[in-house]
Every structure is written in structure tokens, then in C-alpha cells.
Amino acid sequence: MMTFRTVKTALTDLLGDNAAGRFRVIGYQEQAKATGELKNNDRLVQVYYSDGEFPKGSGRIRGEKRHDATYQIDLSASAPATGDLSVLESDTATAAQKASAIAAIREASEMADQRIDVLIDLVFNILMDARNEGLLLDNGVISSRWIPGIQKDTIVEKGDLVLKTANLKYTCTVQEPVSGATGNEPDDVIFDAETPIDESGESGTGVITEVDNT
């Protein structure tokens, strides 16, 4: 298995182990918990391998290859919008009702924005903690880990919820061993070359027979 896959699992596990009920990590294999113990479903984290580069000048023709890997860490936080947001599209709603609905959206947007800021703070500090520099993997598995950027997206309205999303980039360098492709053994075949010539004088087509190796 390539090392970048091991690093993705380590990132997911590290965030999940340190969530402490403050957020949830998609893909983290939590121990069984009662439904009532699950907290902060409004704040979610998910790790993706995004892209990688294999710089030729830093690599070798044979053996391990340097892999500069980039991971996307997607964050989302939501807040309930009090009031009936459907009035904004209503032809019968009064101006006062629409103003109240807009105020509800603004308040929910501010709450979602505060929650995503807190989530960014938590995830950044977990990943950049000096104790987590190697993602708790064996020494030398990863190096040059860094978070080069954070980006927040616009507010999205989802029914009676207001959603805010953000993204962190996590970069690191790993060495990829090349184990080669094992492939599959082809089935044995027998070509019957004793196909008779037909009346036109043309040679017939040989018959290929599969041999069952089981």
C-alpha cells in the first residue's frame, strides 16, 4: 500500500482522537457510543488526499520515490435559522414578515460563521501541535508537514439550516516504496493446429480451448 494512504488514515485518526466531542470526523472509527452521547453534529471534518507531485530531481530511478502530497481537510458548521425562511419567496408575506426572516438568516449566518472559525482554530492547533508532527507514525514516515492555506466559503442556506464551509490544505513529504505489480497468471490455452482444410482450399480457423486449472 502506498504511504499517502497511510497518512490519510493517520490524519483522520489524529483528528478523531482529539475531537473530544467538539466536532465529528467523517470516516473515523469511533468506539460504539449511545446515540445520546454524540455531540456537535453541526461541526464536521473530512480528510481527502487531493494531489501529489513526484519531483524527478529529488527522486531515484530505482527504489523509493519522493512524494510531495497534499490533503484537503473540509470543514463545515451549521446553525438553525429561527423563523420561517419560506416567507422570503412568498407572494403574500408582508414586508415586516420578510424583514423578520432576513434577520433570522443574518443571525444564523453569524452563528455559523463563529462555529466555523472555532472549528478552524481546533483543527489547525491539533495538526500543527509539535507533538503531532509525525502524525504518531514511525519516525521518518513523513517530513516537512505544513498548512499552507485556509479558505472559507460563502454561506449556504439548506432549508431551516444555514451552512458555512471551509477548507485547510495539509502538505507533507513521504517516501513511496515501489513494490511492483504482481499481476495474475494467465489461464493455460491449447491451440488446435490440426484444423482440416475446407472445400475452398482455405485453412479453417484453429480452435482455442481453455484449460481449467482449478
CA distance 190 to 210: 7
Does some domain include residue 212? no
Q: Is the pLDDT at 48 greater than 60, yes or no?
A: yes
- pLDDT-derived band at 194 (thresholds 50, 70, 90) equals low
**Which residue shows C-alpha cell 482455405?**
202
Mean pLDDT of 35-54: 77
Average pLDDT, the chain: 81
Q: Is residue 210 part of a domain?
A: no
pLDDT band for 25, please (50, 70, 90 cuts).
very high
The model's confidence at residue 191, banded by pLDDT at 50, 70 and 90, is: low
Is 51 contained in some domain? yes
Query: At residue 182, does pLDDT exceed 70?
Result: no
Q: Considering its fold, how many domains does the chain have in total?
A: 1
Residue 83 is assigned to a structural domain of this protein = yes
Average pLDDT on 66-81 reads 93
**Per the domain annotation, does 36 fall within a domain?**
yes
Give the CATH number of the domain where residue 99 resides: 3.30.2000.10
The span from the CA of 76 to the CA of 113, in Å, is: 10
Who has greater pLDDT, 176 or 30?
A: 176
Closest CA to 70 of 84, 53, 50: 50
Once rounded to an integer, what is the mean pLDDT over residues 26-43?
A: 60
Mean pLDDT calculated for residue range 60-87: 84
Residue 193's pLDDT is: 56
Q: Taking the mean position of all CA atoms in its chain, how far away is CA 197?
A: 62
Q: Flag whether 172 is in a domain.
A: yes
The stretches of the chain forming alpha helices (DSSP H) are 3-17, 95-128
Flag the least confident range among 4-8, 21-25, 162-166, 180-184: 180-184
Tell whether 207 is covered by a domain: no
User: How do residues 138-152 score in pLDDT, each as one tens digit?
Assistant: 888 999 999 999 999
47 closest CA partner among 21, 3, 9, 20: 9
d(CA 159, CA 109): 13
User: Domain span at residue 140?
Assistant: 3-176
Tell me if 183 is assigned to some domain. no
Percent of the chain with pLDDT strictly greater than 90: 47
Residue 136 pLDDT: 93
User: Considering only 119-133, 155-169, 192-206, which range has the smallest mean pLDDT?
Assistant: 192-206
